[in-house]
Protein backbone atom coordinates (compact mmCIF):
# COMPACT_ATOMS: atom_id res chain seq x y z
CA UNK A 1 0.00 0.00 0.00
CA UNK A 2 1.35 3.40 -1.01
CA UNK A 3 1.26 5.75 1.99
CA UNK A 4 1.14 9.47 1.38
CA UNK A 5 2.36 12.48 3.31
CA UNK A 6 -0.96 13.18 5.00
CA UNK A 7 0.03 16.74 5.83
CA UNK A 8 -0.81 17.61 2.21
CA UNK A 9 -4.41 16.60 2.80
CA UNK A 10 -4.69 19.32 5.44
CA UNK A 11 -4.01 22.10 2.94
CA UNK A 12 -6.90 24.18 1.61
CA UNK A 13 -8.12 23.13 -1.83
CA UNK A 14 -5.74 25.28 -3.88
CA UNK A 15 -3.10 27.97 -3.73
CA UNK A 16 -4.42 31.55 -3.31
CA UNK A 17 -3.32 32.72 -6.74
CA UNK A 18 -4.83 29.64 -8.37
CA UNK A 19 -8.20 30.65 -6.91
CA UNK A 20 -7.76 34.15 -8.29
CA UNK A 21 -6.81 32.83 -11.73
CA UNK A 22 -9.88 30.59 -11.76
CA UNK A 23 -12.21 33.48 -10.92
CA UNK A 24 -10.63 35.72 -13.55
CA UNK A 25 -10.81 33.01 -16.22
CA UNK A 26 -14.46 32.37 -15.45
CA UNK A 27 -15.19 36.09 -15.74
CA UNK A 28 -13.30 36.32 -19.04
CA UNK A 29 -15.23 33.38 -20.45
CA UNK A 30 -18.51 35.08 -19.56
CA UNK A 31 -17.34 38.55 -20.69
CA UNK A 32 -14.87 38.04 -23.56
CA UNK A 33 -14.89 41.71 -24.53
CA UNK A 34 -13.92 42.95 -21.07
CA UNK A 35 -10.58 44.79 -20.82
CA UNK A 36 -9.23 43.29 -17.60
CA UNK A 37 -6.39 45.08 -15.83
CA UNK A 38 -4.37 42.71 -13.66
CA UNK A 39 -2.91 44.30 -10.54
CA UNK A 40 -3.08 41.13 -8.45
CA UNK A 41 -0.19 38.69 -8.79
CA UNK A 42 3.20 40.35 -8.41
CA UNK A 43 4.43 39.49 -11.90
CA UNK A 44 6.43 42.04 -13.84
CA UNK A 45 5.59 43.58 -17.22
CA UNK A 46 8.79 45.38 -18.32
CA UNK A 47 11.16 43.34 -20.51
CA UNK A 48 14.62 42.29 -19.41
CA UNK A 49 17.20 45.09 -19.42
CA UNK A 50 19.32 45.45 -22.59
CA UNK A 51 22.49 44.60 -20.65
CA UNK A 52 20.86 41.37 -19.48
CA UNK A 53 19.74 40.44 -23.02
CA UNK A 54 23.23 41.08 -24.35
CA UNK A 55 24.73 38.84 -21.65
CA UNK A 56 22.21 36.11 -22.45
CA UNK A 57 23.09 36.21 -26.15
CA UNK A 58 26.81 36.11 -25.41
CA UNK A 59 26.37 33.18 -23.03
CA UNK A 60 24.25 31.28 -25.57
CA UNK A 61 27.01 31.77 -28.17
CA UNK A 62 29.51 30.38 -25.67
CA UNK A 63 27.37 27.30 -25.19
CA UNK A 64 27.51 26.72 -28.96
CA UNK A 65 31.31 26.82 -28.98
CA UNK A 66 33.09 23.59 -28.02
CA UNK A 67 35.94 25.52 -26.39
CA UNK A 68 33.57 27.57 -24.20
CA UNK A 69 30.79 25.05 -23.62
CA UNK A 70 29.89 24.29 -20.00
CA UNK A 71 28.09 21.29 -18.59
CA UNK A 72 27.28 20.83 -14.93
CA UNK A 73 28.25 23.89 -12.93
CA UNK A 74 28.75 24.35 -9.18
CA UNK A 75 25.39 23.95 -7.44
CA UNK A 76 26.16 26.92 -5.19
CA UNK A 77 26.67 29.21 -8.18
CA UNK A 78 29.53 30.20 -10.45
CA UNK A 79 32.27 32.28 -8.85
CA UNK A 80 31.72 35.13 -11.31
CA UNK A 81 28.16 35.67 -10.01
CA UNK A 82 28.76 34.87 -6.36
CA UNK A 83 31.73 37.25 -6.13
CA UNK A 84 29.78 39.96 -7.93
CA UNK A 85 26.95 39.58 -5.41
CA UNK A 86 29.40 39.81 -2.50
CA UNK A 87 30.94 43.02 -3.85
CA UNK A 88 27.76 44.82 -4.91
CA UNK A 89 25.14 43.75 -2.38
CA UNK A 90 27.25 43.43 0.76
CA UNK A 91 30.77 44.85 0.70
CA UNK A 92 29.48 48.12 -0.71
CA UNK A 93 27.38 48.40 2.47
CA UNK A 94 30.31 47.47 4.70
CA UNK A 95 28.95 43.97 5.36
CA UNK A 96 31.30 41.03 5.72
CA UNK A 97 29.55 38.28 3.75
CA UNK A 98 31.81 35.64 2.22
CA UNK A 99 31.42 33.83 -1.08
CA UNK A 100 30.86 30.43 0.52
CA UNK A 101 27.91 31.87 2.48
CA UNK A 102 25.96 32.53 -0.74
CA UNK A 103 23.91 29.92 -2.58
CA UNK A 104 22.49 30.78 -6.01
CA UNK A 105 19.09 29.23 -6.73
CA UNK A 106 16.10 29.36 -9.07
CA UNK A 107 13.98 31.56 -6.81
CA UNK A 108 13.27 32.79 -3.30
CA UNK A 109 9.91 31.03 -3.37
CA UNK A 110 11.80 27.75 -3.72
CA UNK A 111 14.35 28.57 -1.04
CA UNK A 112 11.93 29.91 1.57
CA UNK A 113 9.99 26.69 1.15
CA UNK A 114 12.94 24.32 0.94
CA UNK A 115 14.85 25.74 3.90
CA UNK A 116 12.58 23.68 6.15
CA UNK A 117 14.37 20.54 4.94
CA UNK A 118 17.24 21.26 7.33
CA UNK A 119 15.06 22.26 10.29
CA UNK A 120 13.47 19.91 12.81
CA UNK A 121 9.73 19.30 12.94
CA UNK A 122 9.52 20.17 16.63
CA UNK A 123 10.43 23.82 16.06
CA UNK A 124 7.76 26.37 16.99
CA UNK A 125 7.24 28.63 13.98
CA UNK A 126 6.14 32.27 14.15
CA UNK A 127 4.76 34.15 11.18
CA UNK A 128 3.68 37.73 10.78
CA UNK A 129 0.02 38.00 9.81
CA UNK A 130 -0.79 38.78 7.00
CA UNK A 131 1.98 36.81 5.33
CA UNK A 132 3.19 35.36 2.02
CA UNK A 133 1.26 32.04 1.79
CA UNK A 134 4.32 29.93 0.90
CA UNK A 135 5.70 30.33 4.43
CA UNK A 136 2.61 28.74 5.91
CA UNK A 137 1.87 26.13 3.26
CA UNK A 138 5.36 24.66 3.26
CA UNK A 139 5.27 24.27 7.03
CA UNK A 140 1.90 22.56 6.72
CA UNK A 141 3.41 20.18 4.16
CA UNK A 142 6.31 19.41 6.50
CA UNK A 143 4.10 18.82 9.56
CA UNK A 144 5.04 21.85 11.69
CA UNK A 145 1.74 23.70 11.42
CA UNK A 146 -0.64 21.28 13.14
CA UNK A 147 -4.31 21.52 12.17
CA UNK A 148 -6.43 24.29 10.72
CA UNK A 149 -8.81 25.49 13.43
CA UNK A 150 -11.09 28.50 12.84
CA UNK A 151 -8.85 29.81 10.08
CA UNK A 152 -5.55 29.38 11.93
CA UNK A 153 -3.02 26.55 12.17
CA UNK A 154 -2.87 25.52 15.80
CA UNK A 155 0.90 24.95 16.00
CA UNK A 156 1.87 28.23 14.34
CA UNK A 157 2.31 31.44 16.30
CA UNK A 158 0.57 34.33 14.55
CA UNK A 159 1.95 37.85 15.02
CA UNK A 160 -0.67 40.35 13.81
CA UNK A 161 0.56 43.31 11.75
CA UNK A 162 -2.32 45.72 11.41
CA UNK A 163 -3.06 49.42 11.23
CA UNK A 164 -3.64 49.32 14.99
CA UNK A 165 0.05 48.51 15.64
CA UNK A 166 1.36 50.43 12.61
CA UNK A 167 2.16 47.09 10.97
CA UNK A 168 5.08 46.58 13.35
CA UNK A 169 5.17 42.99 14.67
CA UNK A 170 5.38 42.60 18.43
CA UNK A 171 7.58 40.00 20.07
CA UNK A 172 5.68 36.78 20.79
CA UNK A 173 4.61 36.08 24.34
CA UNK A 174 5.77 32.48 24.06
CA UNK A 175 9.21 31.30 23.00
CA UNK A 176 9.48 30.52 19.29
CA UNK A 177 12.27 28.85 17.33
CA UNK A 178 11.77 30.02 13.74
CA UNK A 179 10.59 33.49 12.73
CA UNK A 180 9.61 34.54 9.20
CA UNK A 181 10.13 38.22 8.45
CA UNK A 182 9.66 39.82 5.02
CA UNK A 183 10.67 43.48 4.61
CA UNK A 184 9.75 45.47 2.64
CA UNK A 185 6.69 43.43 3.37
CA UNK A 186 4.63 41.35 1.04
CA UNK A 187 1.66 41.95 1.11
CA UNK A 188 1.36 45.18 3.11
CA UNK A 189 4.23 47.10 1.51
CA UNK A 190 5.33 48.34 4.94
CA UNK A 191 8.84 48.35 6.40
CA UNK A 192 10.79 48.14 9.64
CA UNK A 193 13.47 50.59 10.72
CA UNK A 194 16.88 49.39 11.82
CA UNK A 195 15.92 49.86 15.47
CA UNK A 196 12.71 47.87 15.02
CA UNK A 197 14.58 45.03 13.31
CA UNK A 198 17.27 45.09 16.01
CA UNK A 199 14.56 44.11 18.52
CA UNK A 200 13.99 40.87 16.60
CA UNK A 201 17.67 40.08 16.20
CA UNK A 202 18.18 40.59 19.94
CA UNK A 203 15.24 38.29 20.67
CA UNK A 204 16.64 35.60 18.38
CA UNK A 205 20.06 35.80 20.02
CA UNK A 206 18.58 35.50 23.51
CA UNK A 207 16.45 32.51 22.57
CA UNK A 208 18.72 30.79 20.01
CA UNK A 209 15.99 31.32 17.43
CA UNK A 210 16.34 31.51 13.66
CA UNK A 211 15.11 34.45 11.59
CA UNK A 212 14.22 33.66 7.97
CA UNK A 213 14.46 37.09 6.38
CA UNK A 214 12.91 37.55 2.94
CA UNK A 215 14.51 40.61 1.33
CA UNK A 216 13.11 40.10 -2.16
CA UNK A 217 12.00 43.75 -2.40
CA UNK A 218 15.04 45.54 -0.98
CA UNK A 219 15.74 47.31 -4.29
CA UNK A 220 12.48 49.25 -3.84
CA UNK A 221 13.60 50.90 -0.58
CA UNK A 222 13.65 54.70 -0.85
CA UNK A 223 13.91 55.79 2.81
CA UNK A 224 17.23 56.03 4.65
CA UNK A 225 16.43 54.26 7.92
CA UNK A 226 15.13 51.10 6.28
CA UNK A 227 17.79 48.36 6.17
CA UNK A 228 18.51 46.75 2.80
CA UNK A 229 19.89 43.64 4.50
CA UNK A 230 19.27 42.09 7.89
CA UNK A 231 23.05 41.86 8.22
CA UNK A 232 23.11 45.63 8.74
CA UNK A 233 21.76 44.76 12.20
CA UNK A 234 24.28 43.92 14.90
CA UNK A 235 24.41 40.20 15.65
CA UNK A 236 22.27 39.14 12.70
CA UNK A 237 24.90 36.82 11.21
CA UNK A 238 24.48 34.64 14.30
CA UNK A 239 20.72 34.19 13.87
CA UNK A 240 19.49 35.01 10.35
CA UNK A 241 19.26 33.54 6.87
CA UNK A 242 18.56 36.06 4.11
CA UNK A 243 16.75 35.43 0.83
CA UNK A 244 17.24 37.68 -2.21
CA UNK A 245 15.77 37.54 -5.70
CA UNK A 246 16.32 38.95 -9.18
CA UNK A 247 12.65 38.38 -10.02
CA UNK A 248 11.04 41.71 -9.17
CA UNK A 249 14.14 43.89 -9.40
CA UNK A 250 15.47 42.75 -12.77
CA UNK A 251 12.41 41.06 -14.26
CA UNK A 252 13.58 37.47 -13.78
CA UNK A 253 10.15 36.09 -12.90
CA UNK A 254 10.30 33.94 -16.03
CA UNK A 255 14.08 33.62 -16.12
CA UNK A 256 14.52 32.37 -12.54
CA UNK A 257 17.49 33.38 -10.43
CA UNK A 258 17.88 34.22 -6.76
CA UNK A 259 20.26 33.58 -3.90
CA UNK A 260 20.23 32.73 -0.22
CA UNK A 261 22.78 33.78 2.38
CA UNK A 262 23.54 31.33 5.19
CA UNK A 263 26.33 32.73 7.42
CA UNK A 264 28.90 30.30 8.77
CA UNK A 265 28.43 31.80 12.23
CA UNK A 266 24.82 30.59 12.26
CA UNK A 267 24.21 27.44 14.27
CA UNK A 268 21.32 25.07 14.78
CA UNK A 269 21.19 22.48 17.54
CA UNK A 270 20.61 18.79 18.01
CA UNK A 271 18.17 17.65 20.69
CA UNK A 272 21.14 16.99 22.93
CA UNK A 273 22.26 20.60 22.52
CA UNK A 274 25.19 20.14 20.15
CA UNK A 275 25.76 23.05 17.76
CA UNK A 276 25.62 22.28 14.03
CA UNK A 277 26.49 24.65 11.17
CA UNK A 278 23.36 25.53 9.18
CA UNK A 279 25.63 26.62 6.34
CA UNK A 280 26.99 23.07 6.16
CA UNK A 281 23.51 21.53 6.31
CA UNK A 282 22.13 23.82 3.60
CA UNK A 283 25.16 23.16 1.41
CA UNK A 284 24.50 19.42 1.75
CA UNK A 285 20.81 19.84 0.94
CA UNK A 286 21.51 22.24 -1.94
CA UNK A 287 24.10 20.02 -3.60
CA UNK A 288 21.94 16.91 -3.19
CA UNK A 289 18.55 18.21 -4.35
CA UNK A 290 19.50 21.03 -6.73
CA UNK A 291 21.58 20.92 -9.91
CA UNK A 292 22.35 24.62 -10.17
CA UNK A 293 21.03 27.59 -12.12
CA UNK A 294 21.91 27.44 -15.84
CA UNK A 295 25.13 29.15 -16.88
CA UNK A 296 23.40 31.52 -19.29
CA UNK A 297 20.99 32.67 -16.56
CA UNK A 298 23.84 33.33 -14.14
CA UNK A 299 25.63 35.41 -16.77
CA UNK A 300 22.40 37.37 -17.20
CA UNK A 301 22.19 37.94 -13.44
CA UNK A 302 25.81 39.06 -13.36
CA UNK A 303 25.00 41.68 -16.01
CA UNK A 304 22.54 43.33 -13.61
CA UNK A 305 25.57 44.60 -11.68
CA UNK A 306 27.45 46.12 -14.64
CA UNK A 307 27.39 49.95 -14.80
CA UNK A 308 24.82 49.86 -17.58
CA UNK A 309 22.92 47.02 -15.96
CA UNK A 310 22.60 48.92 -12.69
CA UNK A 311 21.20 51.99 -14.47
CA UNK A 312 18.75 49.94 -16.50
CA UNK A 313 17.54 47.87 -13.55
CA UNK A 314 17.11 50.99 -11.41
CA UNK A 315 15.06 52.59 -14.18
CA UNK A 316 12.71 49.59 -14.13
CA UNK A 317 12.43 49.68 -10.32
CA UNK A 318 11.66 53.42 -10.49
CA UNK A 319 9.01 52.71 -13.14
CA UNK A 320 7.19 50.27 -10.85
CA UNK A 321 7.55 52.59 -7.86
CA UNK A 322 6.02 55.39 -9.92
CA UNK A 323 3.09 53.10 -10.72
CA UNK A 324 2.72 52.29 -7.04
CA UNK A 325 2.73 55.99 -6.22
CA UNK A 326 0.00 56.64 -8.78
CA UNK A 327 -2.18 53.92 -7.25
CA UNK A 328 -1.48 55.08 -3.71
CA UNK A 329 -2.37 58.70 -4.55
CA UNK A 330 -5.47 57.70 -6.47
CA UNK A 331 -6.82 55.56 -3.65
CA UNK A 332 -5.96 58.17 -1.02
CA UNK A 333 -7.80 60.82 -3.01
CA UNK A 334 -10.86 58.55 -2.89
CA UNK A 335 -10.72 58.69 0.91
CA UNK A 336 -9.57 55.08 1.35
CA UNK A 337 -7.01 53.99 3.94
CA UNK A 338 -3.84 53.09 2.03
CA UNK A 339 -0.47 51.67 3.09
CA UNK A 340 2.73 50.73 1.28
CA UNK A 341 3.73 51.98 -2.17
CA UNK A 342 6.70 54.01 -0.88
CA UNK A 343 9.42 51.43 -0.24
CA UNK A 344 7.57 48.68 -2.03
CA UNK A 345 5.67 47.94 -5.24
CA UNK A 346 2.69 46.78 -3.15
CA UNK A 347 -0.27 48.87 -2.05
CA UNK A 348 -2.40 47.61 0.85
CA UNK A 349 -5.85 49.19 0.87
CA UNK A 350 -8.60 48.94 3.46
CA UNK A 351 -11.82 47.77 1.87
CA UNK A 352 -14.67 50.32 1.86
CA UNK A 353 -17.26 50.13 4.61
CA UNK A 354 -17.76 46.63 5.96
CA UNK A 355 -16.94 44.88 2.69
CA UNK A 356 -14.90 41.68 2.98
CA UNK A 357 -11.66 41.09 1.09
CA UNK A 358 -13.26 38.69 -1.40
CA UNK A 359 -16.28 40.97 -1.65
CA UNK A 360 -14.09 43.88 -2.71
CA UNK A 361 -12.17 41.59 -5.07
CA UNK A 362 -15.42 40.52 -6.73
CA UNK A 363 -16.65 44.09 -6.95
CA UNK A 364 -13.48 45.33 -8.65
CA UNK A 365 -13.46 42.40 -11.07
CA UNK A 366 -17.14 42.47 -11.98
CA UNK A 367 -17.79 46.21 -11.98
CA UNK A 368 -14.43 47.77 -12.91
CA UNK A 369 -12.60 44.83 -14.52
CA UNK A 370 -9.62 45.24 -12.19
CA UNK A 371 -7.90 42.28 -10.55
CA UNK A 372 -6.43 42.64 -7.05
CA UNK A 373 -5.54 40.12 -4.37
CA UNK A 374 -7.91 39.66 -1.41
CA UNK A 375 -6.07 40.37 1.82
CA UNK A 376 -7.60 37.46 3.72
CA UNK A 377 -5.70 35.16 1.38
CA UNK A 378 -2.57 36.22 3.25
CA UNK A 379 -3.95 35.33 6.68
CA UNK A 380 -6.68 36.24 9.18
CA UNK A 381 -5.34 39.74 9.79
CA UNK A 382 -5.60 40.44 6.07
CA UNK A 383 -9.40 40.32 6.17
CA UNK A 384 -10.84 43.68 5.20
CA UNK A 385 -7.89 44.56 2.95
CA UNK A 386 -6.90 44.14 -0.69
CA UNK A 387 -3.43 44.15 -2.26
CA UNK A 388 -2.69 45.95 -5.52
CA UNK A 389 0.68 45.99 -7.28
CA UNK A 390 2.70 48.53 -9.23
CA UNK A 391 3.93 45.86 -11.65
CA UNK A 392 1.48 46.71 -14.41
CA UNK A 393 2.20 48.98 -17.35
CA UNK A 394 2.00 52.73 -16.81
CA UNK A 395 -0.97 53.01 -19.17
CA UNK A 396 -2.87 50.23 -17.41
CA UNK A 397 -2.04 51.70 -14.01
CA UNK A 398 -3.44 55.08 -15.01
CA UNK A 399 -6.51 53.45 -16.54
CA UNK A 400 -7.09 51.41 -13.38
CA UNK A 401 -6.93 54.52 -11.20
CA UNK A 402 -9.33 56.27 -13.58
CA UNK A 403 -11.78 53.37 -13.24
CA UNK A 404 -11.42 53.36 -9.45
CA UNK A 405 -12.89 56.85 -9.39
CA UNK A 406 -16.18 55.18 -10.36
CA UNK A 407 -16.32 53.18 -7.10
CA UNK A 408 -19.83 53.44 -5.71
CA UNK A 409 -20.29 51.48 -2.50
| Confidence bin at 408 (pLDDT 50/70/90) | low
| Confidence bin at 44 (pLDDT 50/70/90) | very high
Is 12's pLDDT higher than 90?
A: no
Mean pLDDT, rounded, for 329-340: 96
Mean pLDDT, rounded, for 4-19: 87
C-alpha neighbours within 13 Å on the C-beta side of residue 24? 21
Average pLDDT, the chain: 96
Q: Are 49 and 250 in contact (CB under 8 A)?
A: yes
In the chain, residues under CATH classification 3.90.1150.10 are 6-47+308-404
- How confident is the model over 156-180, as pLDDT tens digits? 999 999 999 999 999 999 999 999 9
Torsion sign (Cα): 31, 356, 213, 280? negative
Task: Provide CATH code, domain 6-47+308-404.
Answer: 3.90.1150.10
pLDDT at 299: 98
- How confident is the model over 263-322, as pLDDT tens digits? 999 999 999 999 999 999 999 999 999 999 999 999 999 999 999 999 999 999 999 999
pTM over the 0.95 mark: yes
Written in H, E and C, the secondary structure of the chain is CCCCCHHHHHCCCCCHHHHHHHHHHHHHHHCCCCCCEECCCCCCCCCCCHHHHHHHHHHHHHHCCCCCCCCCCCCCCCHHHHHHHHHHHHHHHCCCCCHHHEEEECCHHHHHHHHHHHCCCCCCEEEEECCCHHHHHHHHHHCCCCCEECCEECCEEEEECCHHHCCCCCCCCCCCCEEEEECCCCCCCCCCCHHHHHHHHHHHHHHCCEEEEECCCHHHCCCCCCCCCHHHCCCHHHCEEEEEECHHHHCCCCCCCEEEECCCCCEEECCCCCEEEHHHHHHHHHHHHCCCCCHHHHHHHHHCCCHHHHHHHHHHHHHHHHHHHHHHHHHHHCCCCEEECCCCCEEEEECCCCCCHHHHHHHHHHHHCEECEEHHHHCHHHCCEEEEECCCCHHHHHHHHHHHCCCCC
- How confident is the model over 68-78, as pLDDT tens digits? 999 999 999 99
Mean pLDDT, rounded, for 223-238: 97
Percent of the residues in the chain that have a pLDDT greater than 90, as a whole number: 95
- Region for residue 229 given its phi and psi (left: phi exceeds 0; alpha: psi -120 to 50; beta: otherwise): beta
- Give the span between the Cα atoms of 77 and 104, in whole angstroms: 5
- Give the span between the Cα atoms of 204 and 295, in whole angstroms: 37
In the chain, residues under CATH classification 3.40.640.10 are 54-306
- Give the span between the Cα atoms of 388 and 373, in whole angstroms: 7
- How confident is the model over 108-130, as pLDDT tens digits? 999 999 999 999 999 999 999 99
pLDDT at 232: 98
- How confident is the model over 119-162, as pLDDT tens digits? 999 999 999 999 999 999 999 999 999 999 999 999 999 999 99
- Give the span between the Cα atoms of 189 and 182, in whole angstroms: 10
pLDDT at 409: 60
pLDDT at 19: 83
Orientation angle between helical segments 307-333 and 394-404, nearest 10 degrees: 10
- Fold held by 54-306: 3.40.640
* Higher-scoring residue by pLDDT: 57, 405: 57
Amino acid sequence: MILINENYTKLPGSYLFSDIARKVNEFKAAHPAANIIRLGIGDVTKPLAPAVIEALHDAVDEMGDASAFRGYGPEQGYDFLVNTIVENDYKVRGLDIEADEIFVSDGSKSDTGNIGDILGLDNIVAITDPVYPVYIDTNVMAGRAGNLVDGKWDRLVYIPCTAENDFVPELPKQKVDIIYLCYPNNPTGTTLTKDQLQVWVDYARRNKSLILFDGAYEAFITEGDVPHSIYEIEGAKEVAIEFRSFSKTAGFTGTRCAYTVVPKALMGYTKSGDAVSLNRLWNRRHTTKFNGVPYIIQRAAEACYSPQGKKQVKAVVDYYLNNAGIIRTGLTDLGLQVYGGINSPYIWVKTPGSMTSWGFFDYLLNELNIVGTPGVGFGPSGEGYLRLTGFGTLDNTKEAVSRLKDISL
